[in-house]
Structure 1
């Protein structure tokens, strides 16, 4: 799964890499570690307007929800089942990209997860890359306010990630810049489970895996 990301790129780096401007640059707050469980407001590119970074809350709220409590369960969506899950089946064509400089995962060192090792996953040749997602707009029935939110898509882990995420063996759909553009335009999901090399940092030690 993917519940923690790193967003350290500057606005200049993001705008140049994705060829998109910021709708509200003052909202951007680069951080070493961002937790989805805080439902942060993050810069996202949507398929309907890929030239602009818009700010969406992490944790998708489906349009039919009575309140926003569901979002703690919708940080991620399994790519294989989005058409079968009520929270996602109405937004399968509402594609977005979250730009990141890395994401975090914890490897279980014992059977109960009492001992874990933290990993930062990055692409070797891509300082900034994308994570595929879906987005939704929810109207709060109490005050009529709109909330734009997103979820990150996950898939079965590749060999590298299966060694790290060694319980559920999942990983986010990782994209380089070109793949991100294809995802937004066409919804192509043959993404980077097969990217050649990934950098993985664990407790300050950097390793290359191919």
Structure 2
């Protein structure tokens, strides 16, 4: 599961087909407003809350539990099923994601990024509502898959926990993801990331908030 990541920097997004948006590019946590590109508006970045806000939500507190969506149950869970069944797919650009590693016996935050330094395109789903009562008009959730046995992603989270990973789309699949017209086409792209494209290293927080509840 991923509850902390760094959106791709403006200069990184300049290399992509879309004009880079003007956002705060600091680290993102549930509730942060971040850039995404959706299949509703595939030629523009939109500001979205990190954590999907379904139409029935009364406030943005729900983002604390909707920042990740399990692919196995995304079509069933009340928070996600409408977005998934409507095929509301998005790409979340990230320069790095952060996960806790317990190999030392305690939780140490590690940084996960592409070894070549390019932006990662994380597969997600989006929702859009009428902006009222302070709720963001766009919101998103990162899709996650089982990572048991993955050479890199199985190293993170508590030893007894199921290993999960976001879906990092291959560069040449970004357009295919946004153009997917069926659940079968979308699910065909929800695959583990090749381990050799990733670089991982310890990156502990400098302030005393590196607890497992942040990840």
What range describes the TM-score normalised by the shorter chain of this pair?
A: 0.7 to 0.9
Considering fraction of residues, name the structure with more strand.
1
TM-score normalised by length of structure 1: 0.81
Alpha-carbon distance, 1:62 to partner: 0.5
Aligned to 1:195: 194
Alignment of 1:50 with 2:42, yes or no, is: yes
Q: Report if aligned partners of 2:153, 2:163 keep a CA contact under 8 Å in 1.
A: yes
- Superposed, which structure 2 residues align to 1:155-194 within 5 Å? 155-157=145-147, 158-165=150-157, 166=159, 167-186=161-180, 188-189=186-187, 190-191=189-190, 193-194=192-193
Unmatched 5+ residue regions in structure 2? 205-215
Aligned length, in residue pairs: 192
Aligned to 1:63: 55
Unmatched 5+ residue regions in structure 1? 205-210
Alignment of 1:101 with 2:95, yes or no, is: yes
Helix, strand or coil at the partner of 1:127: coil
Aligned to 1:207: none
Distance in 1 (alpha carbons) for counterparts of 2:117 and 2:178: 19
Q: Report if aligned partners of 2:37, 2:46 keep a CA contact under 8 Å in 1.
A: yes
Q: Deviations over 1:131-165 (max 9, x none)?
A: 1111112336758x762111111111123111223
Helix, strand or coil at the partner of 1:20: coil
Aligned to 1:121: 112
Q: Report if aligned partners of 1:126, 1:176 keep a CA contact under 8 Å in 2.
A: no
Q: Report if aligned partners of 2:12, 2:118 keep a CA contact under 8 Å in 1.
A: no
Change (3 A) 1:46 1:118: same
TM-score normalised by length of structure 2: 0.79
Compute the RMSD of aligned alpha carbons: 2.4
Alpha-carbon distance, 1:120 to partner: 0.5
